[in-house]
Amino acid sequence: MLPVLAGDAVTARVIFANSVLMIVVAALPWWLGEMGAVYGVLSIAIGAALLWCNWNLIKLPNREWARRNFFASMQYLAALFVVVLIDVGWR
């Protein structure tokens, strides 16, 4: 709905901003000491991969990059859950 109301370029910037906030919030368990270093490093790494995809959407706000971002966000979430399992199993 947002691309129809605000345009593709604005929507791409909103997606990027939301992703930055999401990655910061995902790192909070590590910063608060609830998760270990494995979680911290890996969550930041997969977050950086998502931001790279978001940045490409900002540079080229088209359907192809929008689709890649959609799938990258699902892969990010799945990878974050796997990272939690790895970190908990590591301890």
Percent of the chain with pLDDT over 90: 85
Contacts of 8 (CB under 8 A, 6+ apart): 61, 62, 66
Tens of pLDDT, residue by residue over 49-86, are 999 999 999 999 999 999 999 999 999 999 999 999 99
Tokens of 16: 């990027």
Tens of pLDDT, residue by residue over 10-19, are 899 999 999 9
Largest CA distance in the chain: 48
